Structure 1
């Protein structure tokens, strides 16, 4: 063999080895991101089934139950934009690992909580950790999968983690709560260790020099907290209470100041120009409404099953089993669908399926049978499993690679704000209507109407 042939052979071997290492790192990245997406999604909903047991042990009214869910969702939502900025500055891998470590520590703290107030603090810490994890996980997928087809598959796996957790969370809560409610937090710890084991072996992330918008972060945190607190307290204090009015009006004013500040600072935490991108407009609207409906529905449904029908936590969790398997299948199918037909077509199909699921439950005569509720959840979950990775793909495809972190954070911020408001709004409805059966019907009707409006908006906006 000549010297030139030997050199070429060595170069080919080096290239092959480099490609294998890159593929191995990309696979680990996808696995770590999918597990993290599952963990973050599971912790939103696993607590729902355990709420009656927690309230019986630690005390608490409807508002306390709502804060158990929204303390997590609210901090999660408010800090996502900051976390996206941090992922760009420090590198997505560093932020991802830091978030997983905090998640594990907060889970230990929550496991040994001795009062409702302490447990709500633990839930808030879990929300902070989730905010660090989620946008970093999307950025890691984007970094490790430059090929669009492979990125679509990786996003499908990431979406499968989050979507399946929405169904598996209540099931695990039902299995663990009869032993002791603290186990719904302890179950997070092995997942955190697995994420850290994978993350330690993935490729380093690039770091970008960016500035931090401290004023914007402060206004966003204060404004959203006041507004969501005002909605929650409507159920306890009523619409006419000075406290409720003050929180709602103050929240709107502060959020208005936040938007104004974003147009004035040189490096905003939420760049307003991204709202002019057509794909971002559609994806943000879809993300908000989908999670608003889903979190609100699961919150009311678990109350209906336990408080309304008298089911145990375990039996109530079993109602969500079919949707867990259907959702996981939907994400696998959704990845192929996106690759074959594109994100726009997949989003239209997914939204349409979700509308069918809500209408099926709405049109069923009250009281709704448990099997119909399980079927409706499965149909809605299947539609969401198709829609979520497609919407995430639209976000990443709509912006420059240097803005992937902040765009991902904006997408997930709108999702989590929608979830926090969904629990707050539907919790208030449950407090005012005469029965949980009627509250569930209101949830189905509102969800179907909102999704129809989003579907029309999506079709008109893209056609325009």
Structure 2
């Protein structure tokens, strides 16, 4: 078996990038009460601090996938890492919530550049299927463990100063830039850009999520809320229609007919919808209802951090031994069990139960994510790995942005954060039951 030069460094750099992208979604959650105490801001503003990142991240992933194919994944990857460091520095010096939201948007742009490029780099550096499975497991370990480590680091750094939750990114970015000469080189492919589609996608996602967020402070039937939701839906419909007409669509509709892509895209969307929404409400429940400090709330995520890393490493072995389909089915079943366990706890949900449930769900997600990523790469030919990876990660991040918006709104209408968290757990379990049934039926029909 021939190992390409620089494969290990390339895989490690891609895993670090996956870690950064995942961590920056959630590290800010634990710091939000402290940030709003200093800079001000309502629930809606706090949602925008999170969704300013996830929206730009999600909306630009498809363009970034095309850029990675056109200019080479390595070049786009390093530009993204440099921008990530600069935006993190800006956020650490934010003087108002408006400035912080703006900085978070730039961070979202940087993440959009590095994530699909990192997945393409892994595919290029590890052409042999066995090595690719392990490389994807490490890449998945970076992203999944970040989802647990993010709140922990937020809890550790916020008591010192909230700005540190952003400056902590800079050493990771510098590490990527230092090893840049040893990262595997990338081919360039002639790819045209769909600027009309990109504009419609960005505008549609932004207005639709804004409409969901405004349901909380304004109400569902407020004219502004209805206008945003309607405008968002119309723009997204126009985006879908445009993809059938342009010569070089940013989201090729033909990929939706591939069964592996159908399964992977739904898994990616619903998993992150559940996880981001859960962590957003969970950190508020721990601090605002149970009265825990940022550091103590962060410690609740420690067990899930270690379990998630172990799950990703175990996931590589399971994929190799039993295949991606088995791994996805097993991971989804474990997540369902974790959500139902937390839902059935007495009120208020005990801290130990929150920590246990997070660990069970994180373990299941750690097994599922690299398997779903592998299904994406196996479903398309080499010339489409960049755009297919971008589609997969787009659905994931769109799910996260909508999850924070939806569950944040749910929290404003329920009598307590404990009740809101229970709704999150039950809804998440039911959504995963649907995905498990869809996955079984689609693969059985082949």
Q: TM-score range by the shorter chain?
A: over 0.9
Alignment match of 2:358 (pick from 374, 377, 387): 377
User: Contact between 2:263 and 2:439, CA under 8 Å: does it hold in 1?
Assistant: yes
Gaps of at least 5 residues in structure 1 are 1-15
User: Contact between 2:121 and 2:184, CA under 8 Å: does it hold in 1?
Assistant: no
User: Which residue in the other structure is 2:101 paired with?
Assistant: 120
User: Which residue in the other structure is 1:258 paired with?
Assistant: 239
Q: Computing the radius of gyration over CA atoms, which structure comes out larger, 1 or 2?
A: 1
- State the secondary structure of the residue aligned to 2:251: coil
Alignment match of 1:80 (pick from 52, 56, 61): 61
Alignment partners' CA distance in 1, 2:184 and 2:203: 36
1:229 aligns with 2:210: yes
1:157 aligns with 2:138: yes
Alignment partners' CA distance in 2, 1:200 and 1:116: 38
1:357 aligns with 2:343: no
Q: Which string of whole-angstrom CA distances, capped at 9 and with x for unpartnered residues, describes residues 44-73 of structure 1? A: 000000000000000000001000000000
Alignment match of 1:207 (pick from 176, 182, 188): 188
User: Which residue in the other structure is 1:456 paired with?
Assistant: 437
Matched residue count: 445
Alignment partners' CA distance in 1, 2:8 and 2:179: 10
User: Which residue in the other structure is 1:268 paired with?
Assistant: 249
1:415 aligns with 2:396: yes
Cα shift at 1:365: 1.3
Alignment match of 1:140 (pick from 101, 121, 131): 121
Alignment partners' CA distance in 1, 2:267 and 2:418: 27
User: Which residue in the other structure is 1:37 paired with?
Assistant: 18
Cα shift at 1:199: 2.6
1:196 aligns with 2:177: yes
Alignment partners' CA distance in 2, 1:116 and 1:126: 15
Deviating 4+ runs (over 6 angstroms): none
Cα shift at 1:198: 2.1
User: Which residue in the other structure is 1:94 paired with?
Assistant: 75
Cα shift at 1:181: 0.3
- State the secondary structure of the residue aligned to 2:402: helix
Alignment partners' CA distance in 2, 1:213 and 1:427: 33
Alignment partners' CA distance in 2, 1:200 and 1:97: 10
User: Which residue in the other structure is 1:26 paired with?
Assistant: 7
1:441 aligns with 2:410: no
Gaps of at least 5 residues in structure 2 are none
Q: Which string of whole-angstrom CA distances, capped at 9 and with x for unpartnered residues, describes residues 236-282 of structure 1? A: 11111111000000000010000000000011000000000000000
